[in-house]
Amino acid sequence: MVHSEHPELILVTGATGYIGGRLVSRLVAEGRRVRVVVRNPDKLRDVPWADEVEVLEGDLQDASAMEKACRGVTTLYYLVHSMGSGRGFEKREARIAAIVADAAAAAGVRRIVYLGGLHPQGVKLSTHMRSRVAVGEALLASGVPTVAFQAGVVIGSGSASFEMIRHLSEVLPVMPAPKWVLNRIEPIAVRDVLHYLLGALDLPEGLNRTFDIGSGDVLTYADMMKRYAAAAGLPGRTVLALPVLTPRLAGHWVNLVTPIPRAMAMPLIESLQHDAITAENDISGYLPEPVGGLTGYSRAVELALNKMSNGEVETSWAGASQLDTVADPLPSDPQWSGHTVYKDERRYRSSAPPAAVWSVIEGIGGENGWYSWPVAWAARGWLDKLAGGVGLRRGRRHSSELMAGEALDFWRVEELVRGEKLRLRAEMKLPGRAWLELSVVPDGGASEYRQRAVFFPRGLAGRLYWLAVLPFHGVIFASMARNITRAAERAAQPA
């Protein structure tokens, strides 16, 4: 860890998430001492600030792990909240908040900073929003002074809310929509959220309250889509508010039209059932506005689009891996004797140097494609969407660089040994578990490309699935290996 100019120790939970990852990088840039607690430290191995923070392995549901994490901490950022709404969700979230709050109190933490959601008073909230409110209330009642910011729709490159607006606006010139598109919403730019989170470190000690934060722009969701279209240079969009689309139907619709899977779309949509605007602006009496003032909605959209076009998406909603698709890491080969396992292995010798082959491997997916039968890959993505999965449209965070733990279309980067090996874990809906491993090894002055697909079937359905796709694998995986090596050879040729 690098030397810090600030003696106070800051603990960040949710460092692998959209807001948490960005906050940590800014804390480090300010010279703060930062500790993060994560279940899987490997997910932080490739982030730029990995060597500049203290990384503890631990689960927020483990009281002893949280007691250890809170030792010596002055400020704790609570930035963890699952995008769920199923049975037991609220109790689990409340239990986690209680464990963290108790550990913070026992360790003498001086402040907790929480990011919740804007919500009206006196109405029946969705399960997800009700849980976020309850977590904030639990932290405020913990005995540890707590600053609970309440924000609406967060606009920034890679945010789930922005991706939903972007794809709905780009795909549908005329959009039939639920009546909640006429509800009033006060969005906020991610840069302004981070401004307030960082500013919390300078608030008076002992402060224990909520603060509403927003941009000052109050719009309907329909207005937000229309303004997005204008900022993106699209023709005008028409939004038709219909009273017949329930949140569940709208969730299915968003799942099909956008990269946001149904499991995440539902809580996002449910949180839009009521107006979400600031009821007070008391924070202005404690913290100055960002330099240049708060970011208006249209400007926030422009900034997000610029970041995306330049391949500078710092963090993404897809990187949090909060979907119900988490699988165990690929067991090592000697352990396969206890499993039914199907494999497809390919090797191709390439005249290109290993570096050229690796460049193609690390750049795979997203706009760069999968080097074989694009229609077949797109069809598989749509089938997954129809089944409620993540689909193929999550794309890439960066056009040429990957990090362990991040999403890549309907895969997740499980292992990355830069220059040597990339292992992807499938997150599409499957009757089993699947991995795709791409690697390159030196071969004299050239290289050998190695490709391996591994599938652990679940029951009879898994076995039948493999048999059904086997003929397609024979074509798709063979052409994929061949085209990757050819692309590397073309790239390695002198200009």
In angstroms, rounded to a whole number, what is the distance separating the alpha carbons of residues 473 and 391? Answer: 19
The reported pTM is: 0.78
With beta carbons less than 8 A apart as the criterion, state whether 346 and 372 touch. no
| Domain coordinates in residue numbering, the chain | 9-316, 333-492
Got the DSSP string for 247-315?
HHHHHHHHHHHSSS-HHHHHHHHHTTSS-B--S--GGGGTSPPPTT-PPPHHHHHHHHHHHHHTT----
Question: How high is the pLDDT of residue 355?
Answer: 95
Contact 98, 138 (CB under 8 A): yes
Q: For residue 427, which of 335, 342, 318, 266 has the smallest C-alpha distance?
A: 318
Plot region of 143 (φ>0 → left; ψ -120 to 50 → alpha; else → beta): left
Q: Is residue 172 predicted with pLDDT exceeding 90?
A: no
Name the residue with tokens 């500078």.
Answer: 312
pLDDT at 327: 41
pLDDT mean over 55-73: 95
CATH fold of the domain at 9-316: Rossmann fold (3.40.50)
Angle at 324 between CA 477 and CA 102, to 5 degrees: 140
Kindly report the number of other CB atoms within 10 A of residue 214's CB atom.
Answer: 25
237-241, 253-257, 325-329, 349-353: range with lowest mean pLDDT: 325-329
Give strand pairing partners of 451: 346, 438
* pLDDT score recorded for residue 178: 77
Helix-helix angle 127-140:89-107, to 10 degrees: 20
Q: How do residues 90-117 score in pLDDT, each as one tens digit?
A: 899 999 999 999 999 999 999 999 999 9
CATH 3.90.550.10 fits 333-492, yes or no: no
